Structure 1
C-alpha cells in the first residue's frame, strides 16, 4: 500500500511540474505575440517615471546600446545603434512591422564592416537617415527596395565645423554638434541651399558644459540638449522657442542621467540612452516645463 501511495505522489508531482512548465510556455508565447504585434513592440506606455524600453528585445543585456530608439512616422520601423558586448563596432539595427508581425533585429544595409555607426537621426518624414561613421556626416535616402548608398551632406555644413551628431527639422534645417568645441550649430535651408552654419547663443551653449547631442522638435518649438560637465555627468536640458523667435534659457529635465534624446514623431514619448539601455518616458514632462503663454506655437 505504501509503495502504491509513493508512486501516486510521484505521479502527481510529475503532472504538476508538467502543468507548471506548460503555463510558463503559454505565458511566454502570449508575451512574444504581444511584443511582435502591438505598437511600440507591445510595451506598456510609461508615465512620468522613465522605464527601460523593450527589455531583451532592443535593450539587451548582451549588447551595448548607443542611441535612443527612433521610430518612422508610420510607426512601422524602429532604428537604434548597438553592438554585442564582445565586439568593437556599433551598427544601426532595425525592426520592421511586416504583415502585423515585427521582424527580428537586423543590421541596416548601408552599414559597413569595421566602421562605427554610433549616432544617427531620421528626418521627420522618415525618408532620410543621417549618421556619422566615425569620420564623416553622411545620409541615406529611402528607396522602394531599401536605403540608398551613403551620400555626403552639403560641404558648406561640414566646412570648418566638423559636424557630428545632427537633427533635422520639417523645413530641412540641420542642427548639429560641432567638434572640438562641442557646441550646437544650425544651418538653415532656403531655395534648396544650406546657409553657413551659425553657433546658437548662450541660452543653448553654456560655457560650463560640453554639449554632446541635440534633439529639435520638427516645428522647432523646443529643443533638448544633452550636456555634461565631466565624464560622469550627462544631463538633459530643454529650451523653448519664444514669441520673438529667440530661445528660452535652458532648463534641466527631471532625468538623472541620459544621452541622445529623441521624441517620438507622435509627440507622446521621450526616448534616451542610459548606462543600462534605452529608456522612455511620457513627453508630458516636456509640457510641464513649457512657459505659458510666451511660446510661439
Structure 2
C-alpha cells in the first residue's frame, strides 16, 4: 500500500469512528451544524476566525453529506511558518470534537447522498461494512492532474486540471455516470471554458447550475466566481459573474454550497495581519440566496 493510500485509509477509519474513540478535544456545545457561528446574510463574512480560519496557513473546508463532519484542509503560503495541521470536526450529541489529521491527508469530496467519496481520479463507495477499496474512475481520469472534482445526485462529475503553472488554460470537464460506469471526461462548452483560467467547479445536486472560479478581463480583479445555469434545452447558459458582493479585486475561488443548500462557501485571498503585504487564503460564507437572485426567471 502506498503512503497516499495509507493516509486515505486512515482518514476513512477516522470518519467511521464514534467521538468516544477520537483523540480530540471538545470545542463547543452547539445547536447548529456550523460550529456555532452566526449565519451570514447577503454579505460574505469570514467563517470561524481563529478556529477554522488561521493567520499562518491557507484554509479550505468541506462538509459530509449529513453535515456531522467538517474537514478543514490547510497549507503553507510561505516556508517561514510551521507545517500546517489539517483537522476534522465530528458532531455527536450536539458536541463538536476536533482531531488533527495526518500530514498529507486529502480532503474527500462526497456525493450528495453521502455514499461515495472522491479523491481526485479515485473513489470509494459506502458498503455494509464501511467503505470499499479505492477504485479508479478510469484511465482517462488518471491522465488529468485533478485539483477539484464534484458530483451531482445522478453521479455526473465536474472536474478541473492543474495546468495553471504549466502554461495551460484550466479546462473544466464533465463525465456522466452511465450504467454504473463513468464516461471519459469531456470539456464543458465555451460558455464556461472561456478566459485565461477556470478551476474548482461545483455542480448543483439537481444539475441546474455549475459554479467555478476563473480569470477574465471583465472580472473584478484576479480570479472571480462565476455561475452558468442549465437552460430549458439542456445546454449551459453564459457565465455570470457572482457580482461585487462576492468578488473583489483580490482572488476568490473554490465555491461550494453546503449539503443543506443554505450557504455558499468560498475562499478569498486576503492581506495577512503581520504587515508583510503578503496574502493568505481564508474561508468566507454567504447566504445561498445570492445564487437564486442570479437564476434566470
Shorter chain as denominator, the TM-score bin is 0.7 to 0.9
Pair 1:199 & 2:187 matched: yes
User: Matched residues in 1 for 2:127 and 2:48: separation?
Assistant: 28
Aligned-pair distance for 1:62? Answer: 3.9
Aligned-pair distance for 1:37? Answer: 4.5
2:173–2:185 Cα contact (<8 Å) kept: yes
Aligned-pair distance for 1:179? Answer: 4.3
2:46–2:284 Cα contact (<8 Å) kept: yes
Pair 1:139 & 2:120 matched: no
1:236 counterpart residue number: 225
1:6 counterpart residue number: none
Pair 1:225 & 2:191 matched: no
1:157–1:194 Cα contact (<8 Å) kept: no
Shift of the 195–60 alpha-carbon distance from structure 1 to 2, 3 Å rule, reads same
User: Matched residues in 2 for 1:144 and 1:41: separation?
Assistant: 30
1:104 counterpart residue number: 98
1:235–1:252 Cα contact (<8 Å) kept: yes
Pair 1:213 & 2:196 matched: no
Q: TM-score, normalised by structure 2?
A: 0.73
SS in structure 2 at match of 1:178:
coil
Aligned-pair distance for 1:60? Answer: 2.1
Higher helix fraction: Structure 1 or Structure 2?
1
Cα deviation per residue 1:118-160 (whole Å; 9 max; x = unaligned)? x65221122333234xxxx3334456887666x2432244154
Larger Rg: 1
2:294 counterpart residue number: 289
Aligned-pair distance for 1:162? Answer: 3.6
- Alignment gaps of 5+ in structure 1: 1-31, 293-297
1:116-265 correspondence to structure 2 within 5 Å: 117=106, 120-132=108-120, 137-142=121-126, 151-180=134-163, 181=168, 182-206=170-194, 208-229=195-216, 233-254=222-243, 255=246, 256=248, 257-265=251-259
Aligned residues: CA RMSD: 2.7
Aligned-pair distance for 1:81? Answer: 1.1
Pair 1:53 & 2:37 matched: no
SS in structure 1 at match of 2:34:
helix
How many residue pairs get aligned? The number is: 244
1:226–1:234 Cα contact (<8 Å) kept: yes
1:81–1:93 Cα contact (<8 Å) kept: yes
Q: TM-score, normalised by structure 1?
A: 0.73
User: Matched residues in 2 for 1:247 and 1:210: separation?
Assistant: 18
